[in-house]
């Protein structure tokens, strides 16, 4: 993994102990997303110099934090308690899904670009 739970916390991000398993899953998903954005160049960029490695770790932390917050907000927003007399139950309100679209925070893009491994849309410039 690019970053551990301990490194995530050392960078100033917060995670409740009860959510650490979920955070590990988010870190793995963040790494997959960053590898896709960088076209698989993360490992080579991290090996080039310490500053690249640190920026990539920061990008992974920001992405994992965004994924964790998204999961936690979905967990609380999508559950509705329904009561019928003495009987009550919870149901899920799965509203509009983004259909697999990954929204990458701008901070993550900038960190990957600074580390020399971001090739996503919007990072290219046309020169005449």
Phi-psi map region of 118: left, alpha, beta (phi>0 left; psi -120 to 50 alpha)? beta
Higher pLDDT, 53 or 128: 53
Q: Which of 30, 22, 21 lies closest to 1 in space, CA to CA?
A: 30
> Given pLDDT bands bounded at 50, 70 and 90, which one contains residue 35?
confident
**Higher pLDDT pick, 93 / 65:** 65
pLDDT tens by residue, 70-92: 888 876 555 555 555 566 555 55
Query: For residue 119, what pLDDT is reported?
Result: 60
Pairing assessment for the beta strands 87-92 and 79-84 based on DSSP bridges:
antiparallel
**SS3 assignment, position 128:** coil
Q: Give residue 4's pLDDT band: very low, low, confident or very high (50, 70, 90).
A: very high
**pLDDT for residue 128:** 42
Q: Are 1 and 30 in contact (CB under 8 A)?
A: no
Quick one: CA torsion of 69, 75, 80, 85, rounded to 10 degrees? -130
Does this model's pTM top 0.75? My answer is no
Which has the closest alpha carbon to 2: 49, 50, 59, 48? Answer: 59
Concatenated DSSP letters of 107-120: HHHHHHHHTT----
pLDDT at 95: 46
């Amino acid at each position: 993994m690019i970053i551990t739970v301990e490194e995530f916390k050392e960078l100033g991000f917060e995670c409740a102990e009860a959510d650490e398993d979920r955070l590990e899953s988010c870190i793995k998903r963040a790494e997959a997303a960053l590898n896709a954005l960088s076209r698989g160049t993360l490992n080579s960029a991290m090996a080039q110099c310490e500053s690249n490695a640190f920026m990539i770790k920061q990008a992974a932390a920001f992405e994992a934090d965004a994924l964790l917050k998204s999961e936690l907000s979905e967990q609380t927003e999508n559950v509705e308690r329904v009561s019928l007399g003495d009987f009550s139950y919870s149901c899920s309100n799965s509203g509009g899904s983004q259909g697999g679209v990954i929204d990458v925070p701008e901070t993550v893009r900038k960190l990957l670009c600074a580390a020399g491994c971001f090739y996503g849309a919007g990072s290219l410039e046309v020169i005449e």
